[in-house]
């Protein structure tokens, strides 16, 4: 059975477990770096990226998560998780994991639009996907290897680069599990190729 860990330091991690299980995989909350050895893919949830980063440092997760990604194991960053994956953050010298070739802008939709829902077409994944945005970032630019999966209002809100997946919104907060299912399939695929 494919096992997917959800980084459980801060933010919306419990909801992701429900979504992973609805997509046919086993979900585990990851609170210690040693648990990375027991999972096939990792979700970094939404929350507050600066708070998650503080806890990543406190529990010594930064290098182990980088190593996990560099082994070819899939990572899905949602909202704050997307910010943590990015190689560049607009207006900041800070980069967290820096695993994905994307430049992000935090809280990019402005104060008037702290949270909202929008119907998106996610390329190759889902049409008419109701996405929940909460103080969401967007992606300002992507590298050559990164595929844009969805835009909202002209801004990139979902992208994939090999085994890294990222979205600006919270796919775990509705009963539409198609994007999490897409990630589960990425993880199943990588399990097969890493076992060869
Ligand atoms: N605004 C948050 C941040 O900058 C992200 C919000 C979210 O994850 N819903 O980290």
Is there an atom of ligand 1 within 6 Å of 134 CB? yes
Is there an atom of ligand 1 within 6 Å of 83 CB? yes
CA of 194 to the centre of ligand 1 (A): 32
Model confidence at 112: pLDDT above 70: no
**Pair of tokens at residue 25:** 């995989």
Give 194's pLDDT tier (boundaries 50, 70, 90): confident
> Does 106 count as an annotated binding residue?
yes
Please say if 170 is a catalytic residue: yes
Domains in the chain and their CATH numbers?
Answer: 3-195 (3.40.50.880)
Nearest-CA residue for ligand 1 atom 5 is 80
Model confidence at 195: pLDDT above 90: no
Average pLDDT estimate for 133-154: 97
Predicted TM-score (pTM) above 0.90: yes
Q: What CA–CA distance (Å, rounded) separates 191 from 186?
A: 9
Residue by residue, DSSP assigns 110-162 as: -GGGSEEEEEEEETTTEEEEEEEEES--EEEEE-TTPEEEEEETTEEEEEEET
The complex's ipTM works out to 0.96
Please say if 79 is a catalytic residue: yes
Average pLDDT, rounded, for the chain:
96
Model confidence at 93: pLDDT above 90: no
């Amino acid at each position: 059975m494919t096992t997917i860990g959800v980084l459980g330091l801060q933010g919306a991690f419990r909801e992701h477990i429900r979504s992973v299980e609805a997509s046919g995989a086993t979900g585990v909350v990851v609170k210690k770096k040693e648990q990375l050895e027991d999972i096939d893919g990792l979700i970094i949830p939404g929350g507050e990226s600066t708070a998650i980063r503080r806890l990543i440092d406190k529990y010594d997760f930064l290098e182990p998560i980088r190593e996990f990604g560099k082994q070819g194991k899939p990572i899905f960053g949602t909202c704050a998780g997307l910010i943590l994956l990015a190689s560049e953050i607009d207006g900041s010298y800070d980069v967290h994991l820096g695993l994905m070739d994307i430049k992000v802008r935090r809280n990019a939709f402005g104060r008037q639009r702290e949270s909202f829902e929008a119907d998106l077409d996610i390329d190759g994944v889902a049409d008419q996907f109701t996405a929940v945005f909460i103080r969401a970032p967007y992606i300002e630019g992507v590298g050559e290897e990164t595929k844009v999966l969805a835009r909202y209002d002209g801004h990139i809100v979902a992208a994939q680069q090999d085994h890294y997946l990222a979205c600006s919104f919270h796919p775990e907060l509705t009963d539409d599990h198609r994007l999490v299912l897409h990630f589960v399939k990425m993880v199943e695929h990588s399990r097969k190729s890493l076992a060869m």
